[in-house]
A and B are shown apart, each in its own frame.
Chain A
């Protein structure tokens, strides 16, 4: 192989921030999703971004890998601005990242092995297929799925798909792994398996981890730092204890998972379920 599977980590960084976002604003039409956000992601740490659905968490991590371009503001990877780079230049930088998409985003037409070797095929010259097979085996063993090499995504459960997607995300030994809602849609045990995997990968590979989630159990378990987004802005930033004791009512409401008085008022105004106004045609 042209490029060996070694950790991409370089020692020439001058600051501890491997990723930096400056005054980032993103709009879709007239809807401002991210409003002048600035933050620095520390190297080797696990940063968890929390917030209610639709608050812009996924939009934020897609900016970190330049899958989305900001309307204004800047994104830096190792002190190099990436939000204004061409797709060709970005392709080289993106090999330093692993991205776990919410639904896994495995290629339906490829089996597990082909999915995992996809990034290797694209960026390395494969001369020894046995070496690649061993690599696939090792990556699958890391996510507890050795033996599933010939399975197609359609034959895997939701949790298995996420774990295969994770194996694919770490195929090139990235420096940064981005997780988009890794535990969403999984039962509590499978969700905890994913949490343990995130911790294991961070410990074994020493990667910088950024996780987007609204699962507070997961956030408390894996986070070195938690950032909360609300209405396109960061309203809380600190470790688990800091967030747990944060005075902001929206933070407290979110972490305790309680419905607001405003939402309750709307529910009360919308009528009662015991008095349905529209009945099925053959309802007696």
Chain B
């Protein structure tokens, strides 16, 4: 029993160590790739696959988030006679939390799974070894462009999700629930600051990197066979999902602290 626990602990720590090394190597290589024009075509290809093709799914996610929030929150606010404040609630929830998190979860499913399956298949068919045998660093050729594409485009995809969430919430609130349009926007404008929107977009950078790194790592370390690739895809999605939630919490705490500090300075000025 003790032996099994010990072996599992050592295995877990070794995995964490390997992952940490992979993350470090990927970050350094990605930074170097930024200055190498050699990598730009690879980044553009990945940006098309990762970014452009994800726009519809992210927009649909955002729209439904906004519409559902409007339907759910209306009764509570109407009970207190505050239905015109619905815009603040919907828009601040969408731009700060639900838009970025749900868009990132959609991306983890759409992109993360595809990245892991692609790299996992390359791994089991020795294509990654072939890259190494030709004197090329597979992290530079395969991982860095994917990380940079995710890092650059996830914030933009989140902006799309936010936009559709805002519009979805607006249509349900104003057209279906018949809230005054002017009041809806006025309260929204008074309650949602540029800071709130920025938080959501900045979160996208972290979410994008987390999805890309985890998915690439799982692809690089996937076991042989169809079952191995399938399992790696599942693990990649689960790990990305948990990372998104954990990062969301950590970033919420950090941004709150930053906001409180700057708010005090602002009032002093």
Contact = CB atoms under 8 A, between A and B. Distances in A.
Interface of A: 62, 65, 67, 87-88, 90-95, 97, 99, 101-103, 105-108, 118-119, 122-123, 168, 172
Contact of B136 (A62, A93, A102, A122): A122
B135 A99 contact: no
Contacts of B129: 62, 67, 101, 105
B133 A67 contact: yes
28 contacts: A67-B129, A67-B132, A87-B132, A87-B137, A88-B137, A91-B137, A92-B135, A94-B132, A94-B133, A94-B134, A97-B133, A99-B130, A99-B134, A101-B126, A101-B129, A101-B130, A101-B133, A105-B125, A105-B127, A106-B127, A106-B130, A107-B122, A108-B127, A118-B134, A118-B136, A119-B136, A122-B134, A122-B135
A62 B128 CA distance: 13
B26 to A, nearest CB: 13
B133 A65 contact: yes
B126 A103 contact: yes
B135 A103 contact: no
A62 B133 CA distance: 9
- Determine which residue in A62, A65, A122 has the highest number of CB atoms from chain B within 10 A of its CB, and name it: A122
Contacts of B130: 99, 101, 105-107
Most buried by A among B126, B133, B137, B141: B133
Please classify the interface of chain B as helix (H, G, I), strand (E, B), loop, or mixed, using the class held by over half of its residues. Answer: helix
A91 B126 CA distance: 17
Interface string B216-256: 00000000000000000000000000000000000000000
A103 B125 CA distance: 7
Interface string B122-156: 10011101101111110001000000000000000
Nearest to B139: A87
Closest 7 CB pairs of A and B: A105-B130, A94-B135, A99-B133, A105-B126, A119-B134, A91-B135, A95-B135
B210 to A, nearest CB: 24
Give the size range of B's interface with the partner. Answer: 10 to 19
A5 B14 CA distance: 43
Given A88-B137, A94-B132, A108-B127, 18 more contacts: A65-B133, A87-B132, A90-B135, A91-B135, A92-B135, A94-B133, A94-B134, A99-B133, A101-B130, A101-B133, A102-B126, A105-B125, A107-B122, A107-B127, A118-B134, A119-B135, A122-B141, A168-B134
A18 B90 CA distance: 70
A184 B125 CA distance: 15
Nearest to A99: B133
Nearest to A66: B132
Contacts of B121: 108
Nearest to B118: A109
Contacts of B127: 105-108
A145 B101 CA distance: 51
Contacts of A168: 134
Nearest to A165: B130
Nearest to A101: B126
Contacts of B136: 91, 118-119, 122
A274 B223 CA distance: 38
A92 B135 CA distance: 6
A267 to B, nearest CB: 27
B125 A123 contact: no
A174 to B, nearest CB: 10
A99 B121 CA distance: 19
A6 B129 CA distance: 25
A93 to B, nearest CB: 8
Contacts of A91: 135-137
A95 B133 CA distance: 8
Nearest to A94: B135
B190 to A, nearest CB: 51
A209 B130 CA distance: 18
Nearest to B45: A109
A67 B126 CA distance: 11
B135 A123 contact: yes
A137 to B, nearest CB: 20
Contacts of B126: 101-103, 105
Nearest to A102: B126
The listed residue with most A CB atoms (<10 A of its CB), out of B121, B122, B129, is B129
Nearest to B41: A121
A214 B135 CA distance: 28
